[in-house]
Amino acid sequence: MLEPLHEPIPVFLTLVTVILIMPLLSERVRLPGLIGLVLGGMLVGPHGTGLLSASGSIELLATVGLLYLMFSAGLEIDLRQLGRVRNKAMLFGLLTFLLPQLSGVALGRGFGLGWSAAVLLGSVYASHTLLAFPILSHLDILSNEAVAVTVGATLFTDVASLLVLGIVAGSGTGGGSASFIVQLIVLMGLFTILVLAVLPKLVRHFFHRFSGRAIKLQFVLVTLLLSAWVAEHIGMHAIIGAFLAGLAINSAVSAHSPVVGQVLYIGESLFIPMFLMYVGMITDPLAIVASRQALVVGLVLTAAVYLSKLGAAWIVGRIFGYSRDETLTMWGLSQAQAAATLATILVGVEIRLFPAHVFNGAILMIICTSVSSPLLTQKFGARLSPAEEEPEERGLFERIIVAVANPQTEQHLIALAGILACRSGGVLMPTNVARVVDGEVVGLERQRKLLNAPVVSDCQAEVQRIARVDASITEGVLHAALENEATLIVMGWRGRPTLAESILDGAGRSRLGCDDSCARGTHDDAHRCPGESGAGHSGGELAAGLGRQDV
């Protein structure tokens, strides 16, 4: 065994190296990258080579990674889909909690545990952790109803499991009275209402008041950690607070917001992989194998998890007519044990309800389900297709195309669009169309000049420059709007159209008095063609082609 690293740079270098290499090696042998991270944690952890210690800064990063995992689940879930399937999610949550809970009580009594310990053992695997959630995002099946039901059930199972933990732990410390239980339930309910009702308004106000992308990201991180901390101090687990914070911010911020992308990117590339590594680092396979009692308990608990979770998924699948692949995806996704399970086991040991062999057996169950859950989700989830979604109701200022053609008015239009985009963290898309005239593309040099100009906006909105070549400017802008899912087009307007402009179509509009230099986009910047709007020579054509919809 090697000497553990202590210097910050070597420690962090080892972490990011494992995060980089192990998923690649895992995928080469057709295993999910998550399994590679868990195995990598085993390899460099104290029960492997001993290169890293599973404490201190690594434990801190892993804790943040766990919170990020649950926060991402709340942030990426389709709230409209969740609203439609909430009753189904509650039914599945109830079944996938009760069946394991009852089987755990029976097993606990069979293992010779007291009633309190047996009830707590049931809650150990009655919950589930969305360990395979990154696979759902990668497969793009979050909108599938069966997947949405399973994700929604997570909140129910984790809250119910941790409620059992709070009651049993409170009983062990003299706090398990009826008043204590009522107080705990009331606090949980009030906290949930507070986060889901108040936090979205606070987020909208803050994003409207401040425009910097960095400060928005920092605010999101503060709300995530604050929600987790408060949840932990009222008797819930921090992961519930993180999940609720994700739901709240999901309802307040556009999915296309650059801040959302930044938050998810940081979590997926750094913190979540560190949590998965930590799961491997704290696992001691030898301690499990060395104890026959622990091995038997671990195998029995693992079988109980598989059977009870499969039973719940099968019942719900039969009731709602889900396909075999959907049912097995629900089973694979709901069997992973990590977050609430670890918390429950550790508390059970601390209050001396669980002996060492039960603890080690539960760790074996965590290892098995942490490996099998991504494998099953990958295998059966890959056969699913996303549910057909209803057209998304986007905000008016989410994706704004700015039709630019005149350098003198370009920045004014972009500034206006920037003000609108600041209201919802929208995307600015400066667009210029080069035209085909007599079989020749003209205006490319002017297009490069316009689109390479720096974008000056009061808010740091995301900018996507769009260069097109089309038969006419009107068609080019319309096609760009359709292809890029624009919600608004900002363009110049010189006033009321003339009779000729109202009658002629886009193909003939380029000849509304423009000379050849105007048609080819080679005229002087100070010169404005007849029929040209404030947005340049394209403006009059564009305004007429779009039915002159005012902005």
Residue 438, domain CATH: 3.40.50
Q: Percentage of residues in the chain with pLDDT exceeding 90?
A: 4
Contact (Cβ atoms closer than 8 angstroms) between residue 269 and residue 64:
no
Say yes or no: 426 and 357 in one domain.
no
- Write down which residue in 320, 346, 381 finishes a domain: 381
Beta-carbon contacts of residue 81 (< 8 Å; ≥ 6 apart): 143, 145, 148, 387, 389
**Range 96-107 average pLDDT:** 90
**372 pLDDT above the threshold of 80:** yes
| Percent of the chain predicted with pLDDT > 70 | 78
- Asked, for residue 229, whether it belongs to a domain, the answer is yes
| Same domain, residue pair 108 and 195 | yes
pLDDT at 61 > cutoff 50: yes
Show the DSSP H helices in 210-338 as ranges: 213-233, 238-252, 258-266, 272-281, 285-290, 292-320, 324-334
Average pLDDT over residues 403-419: 76
Residues 153, 100 share a domain: yes
Dihedral pair phi/psi, residue 462, rounded to 5°? -65, 140
Euclidean distance between CA atoms 428 and 425, whole angstroms: 10
> Which of 171, 192, 190, 194 has the alpha carbon at shortest distance from 181?
171
Q: Are residues 143 and 101 in the same domain?
A: yes
- Same domain membership, residue 280 and residue 166: yes
Could you tell me the pLDDT band of residue 456, with boundaries at 50, 70 and 90?
A: low
Q: Is the pLDDT of residue 288 over 80?
A: no
- Expressed in angstroms, the distance from the first to the final Cα of the chain is 69
Together in a domain, 403 and 272: no
Sign of the CA dihedral with 184 first, then 188, 191, and 193 last: negative
List pLDDT tens digits, range 330-354: 998 888 876 667 667 766 776 777 8
Q: Report the CATH number that the domain containing residue 211 is assigned in CATH.
A: 1.20.1530.20
> What value does the mean pLDDT take over residues 434-442?
79
Does the pLDDT of residue 472 top 60, yes or no? yes
What does the pLDDT read at residue 177? 59
**Closest C-alpha to 255, from 131, 104, 52, 426:** 426
| Residue 521 binned pLDDT confidence (cut-offs 50, 70, 90) | very low
At residue 509, the pLDDT reads 42
Would strands 427-437 and 466-470 be described as parallel, antiparallel, or unpaired? Answer: parallel
Task: Say if CB 479 and CB 468 are below 8 A apart.
Answer: yes
440: helix, strand or coil = strand
Residue of 500 and 448 predicted with greater confidence: 448
Show the tokens assigned to 123: 């809650």
- Interhelix angle 86-110/292-320, nearest 10 degrees: 150
Number of domains in the chain: 2
Contact call for residues 329 and 375 (beta carbons, < 8 A): no
Give the closest residue to 172 by CA, choosing from 211, 215, 115.
Answer: 115
- Report yes or no on 386 lying in a domain: no
Is residue 122 one of the residues assigned to a domain?
yes
Per DSSP bridges, beta strands 440-442 and 466-470 are unpaired
Query: pLDDT for 490-509, tens place per residue?
Result: 887 766 666 665 554 444 44
Q: What's the alpha-carbon Rg for the chain, to the nearest Å?
A: 29
Q: Are residues 118 and 254 in the same domain?
A: yes
Tell me which residue range forms the domain holding 537. 399-545
Contacts of 312 (CB under 8 A, 6+ apart): 92, 95, 96, 99, 334
pLDDT given for residue 314 in this prediction: 94
Taking CA atoms, 435 is separated from 26, 139, 218, 300, 441, in Å, by: 49, 39, 44, 71, 6
Beta bridge pairs of residue 295: none
Does a structural domain hold residue 5? no
3-state secondary structure of 191: helix
Is 390 contained in some domain? no
If asked whether residues 54 and 200 sit together in one domain, one would say yes
Q: Are residues 317 and 242 in the same domain?
A: yes
Residue 23 and residue 33 in contact, taking contact as beta carbons nearer than 8 Å? yes
Tell me, yes or no, whether 377 and 403 share the same domain. Answer: no
The residue among 219 and 385 whose pLDDT is bigger is 219
Average pLDDT in the chain? 76
Q: With cut-offs at 50, 70 and 90, classify the pLDDT of residue 1.
A: low
Within 8 A by CB and 6+ apart from 411, the residues are 453, 456
With respect to residue 426, please indicate whether it lies within any of the assigned structural domains: yes
From 381, 412, 433, the end of a domain falls on 381
Tell whether 203 and 330 lie within a shared domain: yes
In our burial notation (b when 16+ CB lie closer than 10 A, e otherwise), range 304-316 reads bbbebbbbbbbbb
Do 414 and 331 belong together in one domain?
A: no
Structural domain includes residue 550: no
Q: 390: Cβ–Cβ under 8 A, 6 or more apart, which residues?
A: 80
